[in-house]
Amino acid sequence: MIKLFVFCFNFLVFQKDTSAVTYKEYLGVINGYKQLLVDIREYKLTPVQARERFQEMMLVMKKAFPATRYDSTKVHLCFPLMGFDFRAVGGYGSGYIPRGYDLFDQAKKGSHPAHDIFMKDKNQDSRDDRTGDYVSVLSTTNGVVIATENGWQTGSEYRGGNYIWIYDTTNGGLWYYAHQREIYVKAGQVVRAGQKIALVGRTGFNAAMPRSDTHLHMTYLRIDEEGNPFPVNTYGWLKQATTLLDPRIAIDLEPITMLRKAEIQQKSKPMPDIKAPKTAFRRIEPIADEEPVKSRRRRRG
């Protein structure tokens, strides 16, 4: 009897793992992920129910886009603020506080499983004081947008403001970008590493306050085989990230090399040989009058 049960169990698990994702299931994530976030925010689901729905969605995405690799020591990113590098990350990376984080329970507060990445904006108009221009937010990796908010209103109590969630098709995790001024992508859209997805802004209850310095709030969640999320400290990755100076060459960025490797492993056709101009990989030179991040007191939201 036990043997029969084990057999049936294995059979069911096997069936589950090999079944293809249907377009309907995929659309269920694209059209349903934001609703899940809203339901969590409005306490319409218990944490257990929310986790179950999240897990279902993540397993659909994992099947639809099997990760080409995930090695936490080798993840290579495009730095998410165009023209900036890791020195813009608040507090030398000390702003990352994962303890107590629960995506499914809004009642749990106090954690900050994220890095805040700051620009120079003394008059808080969301323009870089050095250039007078807005700062582009670039996708750190290749992925699929699964939720966006672009309608945050001043005075709203929602903390994320205008945000983007992207399923990372290279590493099989989730990126969350918050507080943007303007969003340029929509759920269902495929993005490449280095693609311009938004402008840094001050949307969100705390981020809009005069006490907050203008920044991007960014989280990465690793998704395990059961579809559970685990925040990851991305500071090491951000230190290694490529600074992009021109979004028009985004598609030539480094992850192409990784795709090429994955393709070779799968013995499929090699990618065409694309070479990015060297300027795309050049690090920005330190700007003489720039204060180190540590010397200024940073407020986050």
Q: How far is 156 from 214, CA to CA, in rounded Å?
A: 18
CA-to-CA dists, residue 141 to 90, 172, 250, angstroms:
21, 11, 10
Supply the minimum distance, in Å, between the C-beta of residue 232 and Zn ion. Answer: 15
Let me know: does 194 contact 170? Beta carbons within 8 Å. no
Closest CB to Zn ion among residues 202, 217: 217
Least Å from the CB of residue 12 to Zn ion: 42
Smallest separation, CB 204 to Zn ion (Å): 9
**CB closer to Zn ion out of 28 and 91:** 91
Which SS3 state, helix, strand or coil, does residue 92 take? Answer: helix
Considering the complex, what minimum distance in angstroms separates the CB of residue 253 from Zn ion? 25
Q: Which residue has the tokens 């897990």?
A: 55
Residue nearest to Zn ion (CB): 217
Residue (202 or 300) nearer to Zn ion, CB: 300
Please report where in the chains the tokens 């070479």 appear, as a residue.
275
- The CA distance from 301 to 179, in Å, is 9
Q: Is the Cβ–Cβ distance between 86 and 294 less than 8 Å? A: no
CB nearer Zn ion, residue 157 or residue 289: 157
CB of 183 to Zn ion, least distance (A): 17
Q: Tell me whether residue 114 or residue 183 sits nearer to Zn ion (CB atom).
A: 114
Q: Are 137 and 244 in contact (CB under 8 A)?
A: no
Residue 21: CB minimum distance to Zn ion, A: 33
Which helix (H) or strand (E) segment holds residue 196: the answer is: strand 196-199
Name the DSSP class of 63: H
Per DSSP, 4 falls in state: H
- Residue 300 in tokens: 């986050």
Residue closer to Zn ion (CB basis): 97 or 251: 97
Using the minimum distance from each CB to Zn ion, give the nearer residue, 62 or 298: 298
Least distance to Zn ion from the beta carbon of 130, Å?
A: 23
Nearest distance, CB of residue 26 and Zn ion, angstroms = 30
For Zn ion, which is the closer residue by CB, 197 or 218?
A: 218
Q: Could you tell me how many helices (H) and strands (E) the chain has, helices first?
A: 5, 10
Footprint of Zn ion (CB under 5 A):
114, 116, 217, 300
Cα(203)–Cα(42) distance, integer angstroms: 20
CA distance linking residue 280 with residue 270, whole number of Å: 23
Query: Quick one: which of 87, 137, 79, 128 has its CA closest to 285?
Result: 87
